[in-house]
Amino acid sequence: GWNDTINTTIINFNNEKIQITWATRELFPNENVSFFYTFNEGKHKVWKSCTTYLLDQDYNSGCLFKTEGPTLAISIRNSNGSEELFSKNLKSDFYIKPNRPENVTFLWKENAVTVSCNKPERGEMCLRLELQYKSKFDKEWQSRTSKCCSVGEQGFDPRKCYSFRVRLRRRVPHCNVVNYSSDWEAETFWMNGMLLDSCDEDTTSQSNTVIVLSCLLAVFLMMLILLILLCKGQRVQMSVLPAIPDPKYLFADLFNDHNGNLQEWLDKNDHVVLQTKLEYEEPDSITEAESQQEDGKNGDKQGPPEKIFTFSGAAENNDGKAAEIACLKPTSNTMASFSGFHILRNDDTYVML
């Protein structure tokens, strides 16, 4: 009944070494058993005792030995080997665990990658190459399997960093009775076809980019706010303290053409002032002004010329009598002299240069 109750674990490492283990603490709690094996077939078997035991708290729990053929017979006996406690015949080829893939290469072409490895010396038809990958945004690995020894996948985002790992698997049940796979090859990190030390570099570079962009945006917003405050400040200043006009812009020809010589500027612009005054007078006033100019010509023969400017608000009346009265010299008028000019003004008028 021992053969039905004892469970063993058999691993044939790449058809080079075999490891067989059993639960010694549960099966043989008070006895340290011994192990024997043979690759010979038939009745005349030559048993070999285990030379490399695996221990579990100083008790023999397994044996490691060299693979010498496709068939294997094992026997677990008592401590001195006189009594057999368990025996089993098996095909060692059905328990093969392959080695890691060797010389793994990655071939990138745009968003597709092809992973290849060296072909093993034997058992190529029983092997499959498995590729697993995930980005930093994925929680689980995505898997792709192909026959040995090349596998390809596409649809990779060049802006993401991916982790890759590969391993070899034995076909079940065609080649193995146990689904054994090799250990994973060292994990590699890729981004846009470039090999990286880790995906943390990508995270660091992205965080640095975000920091730089945030700083630039903050500076731009500060400049915009300062510009808005400056414009509003100028408007407030202009409303509270209006700017005083510079007279040199109102009398540009006085300063530019006459170098500030007021007498020269007045002599040159005398006819302009008179012409402007006449253009804005009404027809009756224009007739009156012409008669006054004729009287002035007659008076040139009698005495020195005087230039008199008369300002009157009575020119708005259309009848002749009112215009005649307006041309008379009012009693409240005063005469102002400036550089040879005589200006007649009353209380209701003012003169601005």
Q: Which domains are delineated in the chain?
A: 8-97 (2.60.40.10), 105-196 (2.60.40.10)
- The predicted pLDDT at position 242 comes to 65
Q: Which residues of 275-299 are buried (b: 16+ CB within 10 A; e: fewer)?
A: eeeeeeeeebbeebbeeeeeeeeee
Amino acid making up residue 178: V
- The predicted pLDDT at position 326 comes to 43
- The predicted pLDDT at position 271 comes to 54
Q: Give this prediction's pTM.
A: 0.55
The DSSP symbol for 1 reads: -
Amino acid making up residue 173: P
The DSSP symbol for 13 reads: E
Six-digit token pair at 15?
A: 């058809």
The DSSP result for 61-112, as a single string, is: EEEEEE--SSEEEEEEE-TTSSSEEEEEEEEGGGGEEPPPP-S-EEEEETTE
Mean pLDDT in order along the chain per 10 residues (353 residues): 68 94 83 91 85 90 94 91 89 94 93 92 90 91 92 91 94 91 93 89 57 85 85 71 60 69 72 51 50 52 45 43 45 54 53 49
The DSSP symbol for 181 reads: B
Residue 148 burial by CB count (10 A; 0-12/13-18/19+): exposed, middle or buried? Answer: buried
Name every residue whose Cβ is closer than 8 Å to that of residue 140 and which is 6 or more positions away in sequence. Answer: 134
Report yes or no: 11 and 18 within 8 Å, Cβ to Cβ: yes
Cα separation, 69 vs 186, in Å, equals: 31
- The predicted pLDDT at position 143 comes to 94
